[in-house]
Amino acid sequence: MTGIVVVGSLNADLVVRTERFPKPGETLHGSDLAVLPGGKSANQAVAAGRLGGTVRMIGAVGDDGNGALLRDSVAASGADVTHVAVRPGTATGTAVITVDAAGENTIVISGGANATLGPDDLPADAFEGAGVLGLCLEVSIDVVLAAARAARAAGVTVLTNLSPFGDVPAELLELTDVLLVNEHEAAELGEHGVRRSIVTRGGAGCTVHDGDDDPVSIDAVRVDPVDTTGCGDAFMGAVALRLAAGDPLVDAARFAASVGAFAATKAGAQASYPTTAELEQFLRA
């Protein structure tokens, strides 16, 4: 298996559980506040690492307790955090998350140290031994583009998750080999020109478009969700893992659907991601 490089965000997730989401201007009682390791890119790196991938994480955290929490969590998955920079005098990025009784969530992010990540933070040997680059949009578009350009030049597959969704330069789509979006993002994006893509549909599964082949629909693995926070990131990390191993896109997406389902059965993001042994036991149950 070739390596995976993930360039992007690390956030401390500030999580409160409540029966339902508040209406505008309304105050509700919630659970005790939990501070958990998160950030879309860090989540993706951890998901791939816990499943046995060779992963390098490139990002930035502050010189605070949350930064140490995040670096430790990513490293514990087996990922290389050598190039997760620590920014003195800067707060680590955060995500304020509310989870309701059905396991759905709302998320507001504050960039913190993520906003300081730039093209100069990409090491010269970033893609040595790599097969897949994972990108999302929680860091500057400048560093996202720089990473995509360098990966393309190195012959590395560029896997881009257009989340949080927003306008992106046409160049990013041109540099993207595999696009990952949910159904709402796909509708907003419209025609995009990326020949290989996965459109996730929550409980309805996902649809895989692989070049000139007919689209393939993959059913979701049915579970009783506890917390859907980070399930999309688990899916992304699993896709990166299997693409790095040489799997066809349809097989990678089918595997990722099982990983995302497992993650929905446990609270939190990174804490909910399976090892290979845990995933095998889950699928046998």
pTM: 0.93
Angle at the Cα of 81 from the Cα atoms of 142 and 140, rounded to 5 degrees:
15
Token representation of residue 92 = 């680590």
Instruction: Identify whether 27 is part of a domain.
Output: no
CATH number, domain with residue 275:
3.40.1190.20
Higher per-residue pLDDT: 45 or 227: 45
pLDDT tens profile 96-112: 999 999 888 898 999 99
pLDDT band at 151 (very low <50, low <70, confident <90, very high): very high
- Give the burial class of 15: count Cβ atoms within 10 A of its Cβ; 0-12 exposed, 13-18 middle, 19 or more buried: buried
Instruction: Identify whether 159 is part of a domain.
Output: yes
The rounded distance, in Å, linking the Cα atoms of 88 and 271 is 27
Instruction: Report the pLDDT averaged over residues 138-164.
Output: 97
pLDDT for the residue numbered 208: 98
pLDDT for the residue numbered 267: 85
Instruction: Identify whether 26 is part of a domain.
Output: no
Total domains in the fold of the chain = 1
Instruction: Identify whether 28 is part of a domain.
Output: no
Token representation of residue 33 = 């506040």
- Give the burial class of 148: count Cβ atoms within 10 A of its Cβ; 0-12 exposed, 13-18 middle, 19 or more buried: buried
Residue 68 CA, distance from chain mean position: 20
pLDDT tens profile 186-245: 999 999 999 999 999 988 899 999 998 899 999 999 999 898 888 999 999 999 999 999
Tell me the residue range of the domain where 142 lies. 3-20+33-284
13, 177, 227, 233: the catalytic one is: 233
The rounded distance, in Å, linking the Cα atoms of 145 and 158 is 11
Mean pLDDT of the chain: 95
Instruction: Identify whether 141 is part of a domain.
Output: yes
The rounded distance, in Å, linking the Cα atoms of 231 and 73 is 17
- Told to judge if 233 belongs to the known catalytic residues of this protein, a careful annotator would answer yes
